[in-house]
Amino acid sequence: MIITNVQSLEILDSRGNPTVRTLITLEDNSVHSSSVPSGASTGSHEAVELRDEDNTRYMGKGVLTAVENVNTTIKDAIVGMEADPNTIDSKLLQLDGTENKANLGANAILSVSQAVVRAAAHTENVPLWKFMFEYYFKDQSPNTNHHSPSFPQLLVNIVNGGKHASWNFDIQEFMVVPNIKTPSESVRIAAEIFHSLGKVLKARKLSTLVGDEGGFSPQLNSNEEVLDAIIEAAKNAGYENVKDFRLSLDVASTEFFKDGKYELKKQNKWLSPEELTTYYTNIGQKYNILSFEDAFAEDDWEAWTNFTDMAEKFKFITIGDDLLVTNPERIRRAIDEKAANAVLVKVNQIGTIKETVEAINMAHSAGWKTAISHRSGETEDSFIADLAYACGSEFIKTGSMSRSERLAKYNRLLEIENGL
């Protein structure tokens, strides 16, 4: 169907900061909306999130320029066009004309890109995941095993540290990963562990307030204490590490990397990449850790390659987030240099769904795993749940079992499980 109107507005994300929402109207007068998330521990190679830098509004974080770009340049170009996602995304890339979307803003571009996919699903009269599977993923090269939609395992971030809590651990995310993929079961297991952890913390008179992604953020003394507390809580809820769930970490180490060394503040130590590798290998074996995300900094390629080599021996998954920024060029380099074996996929790091799909398909074709991910600043938009199911992603990372902007994605998986 033909696009008849495009309207963008400034809304607020889960941290109360401005972000972009765009509504696309089709010729049958149906309206299709999408909203854009925003990171805190962002990688420097991400596409540009355009902020007004006008300190009289929202401490400079307003997005009226990005909104205006949608309401003028983009609207003028795409009204009258067929709502075909790849054609519109190519048009958006051409209109922007920069490598990193600095001209129109990745936030402006993504808001349109996502909304057009929704509009196209409406035109076909199918659920969003079904449209995306058929449009983007059905005709995969024969050497991948992603030929049908499937539910991802949940990476559930139940303890928040680093920049998302800013007062306790160097490691940003401590996650539980239920072994079962069926959403109604995996969501229940994760929620039971989450609530049980709340009880464990309360009994120790520790804080049960939650961080940006809905996980607890207690003042425990070490990474190991956090992992022990999670295992204890899970046991109280009837679940056993490895048998029923696994543990995963997002270290977000770019945040504490300086001059070739990593600062572990809790331990009052500066570690070399080799020493940090030894530390990961030790805790990885002790706790049977499933995956390490951003174990090394965004440009510490050599450390990534050495760690991935080591990790394969211990069957750890090494996930690149700030390293790869959902950018097909950086993923290609990492595949060639064996710098990771999985990619974290964040739609706003690259800015269009077309390029996001390219990143996912490139990773799957290389035998890598993917984790479709939210940002720490989120909205009620659940687009990534449909995307994760459609591409048969191995994982989805969308926060803890609290805060509605996180639950929106889990709840959407539950809808999909129920045929919606």
Q: Which residues are catalytic?
A: 213, 346
Closest CB to ligand PGA among 88 and 252?
252
Determine the interface stretch with Zn ion among 86-94, 113-121, 223-231, 286-294 (rule: CB under 5 A): 286-294
Question: Which residues between 222 and 261 bind ligand PGA (CB under 6 A)?
Answer: 250, 252
Name beta bridge partners: 177. 246
Number of residues that bind ligand PGA (CB under 6 A): 10
Is residue 375 near ligand PGA by the rule CB under 6 A?
yes
Residue 111: HSE in the Cβ half-sphere, 13 Å Cα cutoff: 33
Q: How far is the CB of 295 from ligand PGA (least distance, A)?
A: 12
- Compute, in degrees rounded to 10, the torsion defined by CA atoms 170, 359, 347, 60: 70
CA pair distance 23, 21, nearest whole angstrom? 7
Q: How far is the CB of 130 from ligand PGA (least distance, A)?
A: 28
Is residue 405 near ligand PGA by the rule CB under 6 A?
no
- Strand order in 3-12's β-sheet? 3-12, 18-26, 31-35
Determine the interface stretch with Zn ion among 65-73, 131-139, 320-328, 377-385 (rule: CB under 5 A): 320-328
Among 49, 96, 192, 321, binds Zn ion (CB under 5 A): 321
Determine the interface stretch with Zn ion among 72-80, 161-169, 289-297, 354-362 (rule: CB under 5 A): 289-297
Q: How far is the CB of 297 from Zn ion (least distance, A)?
A: 12
Closest residue by beta carbon to ligand PGA:
39
Among 49, 89, 212, 250, binds Zn ion (CB under 5 A): 250
Closest CB to ligand PGA among 356 and 373?
373
Is residue 13 near Zn ion by the rule CB under 5 A?
no
Q: How far is the CB of 308 from Zn ion (least distance, A)?
A: 16
Determine the interface stretch with Zn ion among 102-110, 248-256, 278-286, 394-402 (rule: CB under 5 A): 248-256
With CB cut-offs between 5 and 8 Å by kind, which of Zn ion, ligand PGA, none does residue 399 bind? none
Closest residue by beta carbon to Zn ion:
321
Closest CB to ligand PGA among 122 and 375?
375
SS3 sequence, the chain?
A: CEEEEEEEEEEECCCCCEEEEEEEEECCCCEEEEECCECCCCCCCCCCCCCCCCCCCHHHCCCHHHHHHHHHHHHHHHCCCECCHHHHHHHHHHHHCCCCCCCCCHHHHHHHHHHHHHHHHHHHCCCHHHHHHHHHHCCCCCCCCCCCCCCCEEEEEEEECHHHCCCCCCCCEEEEEECCCCHHHHHHHHHHHHHHHHHHHHHCCCCCCECCCCCECCCCCCHHHHHHHHHHHHHHCCCCECCCEEEEEECCHHHHEECCEEEECCCCEEECHHHHHHHHHHHHHHHCEEEEECCCCCCCHHHHHHHHHHHHHHCCEEEECCCCCCCHHHHHHHHHCCCCCEEEECHHHHCCHHHHHHHHHHHHHCCCEEEEECCCECCCCCHHHHHHHHCCCCEEECCCCCCHHHHHHHHHHHHHHCCC
Q: How far is the CB of 285 from ligand PGA (least distance, A)?
A: 24
Question: Which residues between 295 and 334 bind ligand PGA (CB under 6 A)?
Answer: 321
Closest CB to ligand PGA among 170 and 192?
170
Q: Compose the 42-71 pattern: x for residues touching ligand PGA by CB under 6 A, - for all others.
A: x-----------------------------
* Interacting residues with ligand PGA (CB under 6 A): 39-42, 250, 252, 321, 373, 375-376
* Interacting residues with Zn ion (CB under 5 A): 250, 294, 321
